[in-house]
């Protein structure tokens, strides 16, 4: 089983791969979620549900045998649009293109004509990444996060 990164354990030049994630990756992915999102992280039961959902796209970024990032997404039957449900990179591995690689790989796997995601209004780093990848703001979910912060809905036409 892969383990998550430890502070400073991986050299910045270490290559990464994007692979399909499985049920066996549940705990390392949860640790990445907690490191990346703190109190906003999905709990293990929710991640288990994602792991068991047949149509859910689940990808992981692996650096030196350790999971450094994760993305999950699915097609909304109601909207016909793909949704990135979660995407996160461990803080020790951020700034290396892993988030971009995960996002683009998930878009390809989803194969939808439009992809949406929700991001915290204050997460300017992630918003910048999404904008560089072609996402644009389309609406706002008021008080979306547990602390009352708004969530921006961003969309990309693929």
Taking every pair of Cα atoms in the chain, the longest distance, rounded to a whole number of angstroms, is 43
Taken in order 29, 31, 32, 38, the sign of the CA dihedral is positive
Q: Above pLDDT 70, what percent of the chain?
A: 92
- pLDDT tens for each residue of 44-66: 999 999 999 999 999 999 999 99
Q: What is the pTM of this model?
A: 0.91
Residue the block writes with tokens 């999102």:
37
Confidence band, pLDDT 50/70/90 cuts, at residue 79: confident
pLDDT value of residue 126: 96
Confidence band, pLDDT 50/70/90 cuts, at residue 4: low
Q: Which residue has the higher pLDDT, 41 or 14?
A: 41
Report the C-alpha gap between 38 and 56 in whole angstroms: 23
**Structure tokens that stand for 91 in this block:** 């803080």
């Amino acid at each position: 089983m892969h383990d998550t990164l430890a502070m400073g354990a991986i050299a910045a030049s270490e290559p990464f791969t994007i692979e399909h994630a499985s049920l066996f990756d549940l705990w390392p992915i949860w640790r990445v979620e907690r490191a990346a999102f703190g109190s906003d992280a999905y709990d293990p039961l929710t991640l288990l549900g994602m792991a068991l959902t047949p149509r859910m796209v689940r990808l992981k970024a692996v650096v030196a045998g350790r999971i450094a990032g994760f993305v999950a997404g699915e097609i909304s039957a109601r909207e016909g649009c793909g949704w990135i449900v979660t995407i996160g990179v461990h803080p020790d591995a951020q700034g290396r293109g892993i988030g971009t690689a995960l996002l683009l790989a998930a878009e390809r796997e989803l194969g939808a004509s439009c992809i949406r995601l929700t991001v915290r209004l204050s997460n300017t780093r992630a918003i910048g990444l999404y904008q560089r990848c072609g996402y644009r703001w389309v609406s706002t979910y008021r008080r979306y996060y547990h602390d009352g912060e708004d969530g921006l809905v961003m969309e990309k036409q693929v």
